[in-house]
Structure 1
Amino acid sequence: MSKEDYRDKIEEHRQSFEEEQQEQQNLSRVSRMNKNGSNNKKPKNTKRKSPLMTILFVTFILIPLTILIYFVQFYDPGKTIEEAEKDTLDSVVEIDKTGSKAEASTSSDKDKDAKANDQAKEQAQKDAEKLAEQQKAAEEAKKAEEAKLAQQQAEAAKKAEEAKKAEQARKAEQEKQNAAKAKTHTVKANENLYRIALNYYGDGSEATLAKIRAANGMPNDTVFVGQVIKLP
């Protein structure tokens, strides 16, 4: 059993003892009033409780119980009675201090909880602001990347167009150069103008023959072996 349980039991016995004493005093007071009152009034038969039960209770229950509690909780063979009483008082004071400390600790815990809640709210607000800034920065970076990619694509398309135009110009120049270079053919045996036109142009029409004649200043289609003919 704890110290509090022993104290509660002692307090209950003490209150019971005080109630019995108060009851005896009340009975004595009523008896005196009846004795000093009118003779016409019949005295009330008051049943007085014998103090024997109280004496027995104190002698055989309360005193041994108090001694037992003392030996269990407070008795130390090396200590005097004054030291034991002092330790008892110290224990009571310590209990009171413990209760005060518990109340102070509870109040301190509430303050800490409130402070922690405020800090948590403040931290949550900071985190939200930081997240918003990060999202904004990410969107700006994405827009910048898209703009850069569009610019690169435009430059690539421009370069491709320029390269295409340069290739077309080169081919035109090559064709022009090839056209400027006059091909020649030396007439061999058994060849005529028609066969020559058919070999080089794949076409022996009159228009092709007329082109060859004009390039060489020929009045007709007659050619001879060893003659060098220009092929436009």
Structure 2
Amino acid sequence: MSKEDYRDKIEEHRQSFEEEQQEQLNLSRVSRMNKNGSNNKKPKKSKQRKFPLMTILFVTFILIPLTILIYFVQFYDPGKTIEEAEKDTMKNSVVEFDKTGSKAEASTSSDKDKDEKANEQAKEQAQKDAEKLAAQQKAAEEAKKAEEAKKAQEAKVAQQQAEAAKKAEEAKKAEEARKAEQAKQNAANAKTHTVKSNENLYRIALKYYGDGSEATLAKIRAANGMPNDTVFVGQVIKLP
């Protein structure tokens, strides 16, 4: 405790002592007034007068000497003046302040280190999150490109199939047109024969084809829609 603290405590005890004396004085006056007013009445609250008296005795004979003794033990130096004692007190206060300041600086430094460490951890976490997000975006872009490439390939295959089907259809139509044109030409170039008396289908085949085989006869019948080899005089027969 500093010198000022001891002074404050002594001043508090002095005020307490004065208040108790004033209270004792007031009680004495009241007692005298009661005694003068009524001699038959006994004084009341006699027990309460003992407590302030004991307090006064305790403060006077124990607390005040003890406080003075502590003051002399802690602060009193016969070789020092009051100004030097005050300077020493100031120095002690400065030393205590320096210790407190050193502790505060150490605490501030520790807090600063913790903040720097927390900031570094936050930066590392932010960098990891950014890298993770970049990897996810890259994977999403690659998946999107693969999906687009797959769709493009499917579209290309579908287009090729459509073109192949179109070409096949065109080739089929061209073949049908060619066959129709050939049949038309064959029909235009087809020869005919008018059946005369004493002629039959066999003799007609020998005359035009030099062959009276069943195959030749079947070809003539098919060209004319004949069910058999029977012909009539004056009938016009196509010769394929």
Q: TM-score scaled to structure 1, two decimals? A: 0.32
2:208 maps to which of 197, 200, 214: 200
C-alpha contact 1:187 1:226 (8 A) present in aligned 2 = yes
Which segment is superposed worse, 30-39 or 141-150?
141-150
Change (3 A) 1:217 1:170: closer
Partner Cα distance (1:81, 1:138) in 2: 84
C-alpha contact 1:197 1:209 (8 A) present in aligned 2 = yes
2:46 counterpart SS class:
coil
Please give the per-residue CA displacement for 1:111-163, whole angstroms capped at 9, x wherever unaligned.
Answer: 99799689949964874566545873798599999999999999999999999
Change (3 A) 1:130 1:85: same
Which segment is superposed worse, 92-101 or 165-174?
165-174
- Shift of the alpha carbon at 1:75? 2.8
C-alpha contact 2:221 2:227 (8 A) present in aligned 1 = yes
Percent identity (aligned): 93
Pick the structure with greater CA Rg.
2
- Shift of the alpha carbon at 1:65? 1.7
C-alpha contact 2:6 2:71 (8 A) present in aligned 1 = no
Which segment is superposed worse, 142-151 or 154-163?
154-163
Please give the per-residue CA displacement for 1:75-114, whole angstroms capped at 9, x wherever unaligned.
Answer: 3444223443565588499789969997998999799979
C-alpha contact 2:3 2:75 (8 A) present in aligned 1 = no
- Shift of the alpha carbon at 1:49? 3.8
The count of corresponding residues between Structure 1 and Structure 2 is: 232
Partner Cα distance (1:186, 1:75) in 2: 170
Partner Cα distance (2:50, 2:21) in 1: 10
Change (3 A) 1:105 1:135: same
Which segment is superposed worse, 209-218 or 45-54?
209-218
Written as runs of structure 1 = structure 2, the 5 A alignment for 1:85-96 is 91=93
Structure 1 vs Structure 2 CA RMSD: 12.9
- Shift of the alpha carbon at 1:50? 9.2
C-alpha contact 1:27 1:46 (8 A) present in aligned 2 = no
Partner Cα distance (2:77, 2:176) in 1: 119
C-alpha contact 1:74 1:87 (8 A) present in aligned 2 = no
- Shift of the alpha carbon at 1:52? 7.1
1:184 counterpart SS class:
strand
Which segment is superposed worse, 13-22 or 96-105?
96-105
- Shift of the alpha carbon at 1:24? 1.5
Partner Cα distance (2:10, 2:42) in 1: 42
1:51 counterpart SS class:
helix
Change (3 A) 1:190 1:85: farther
Please give the per-residue CA displacement for 1:178-219, whole angstroms capped at 9, x wherever unaligned.
Answer: 999999999999999999999999999999999999999999
2:51 counterpart SS class:
coil
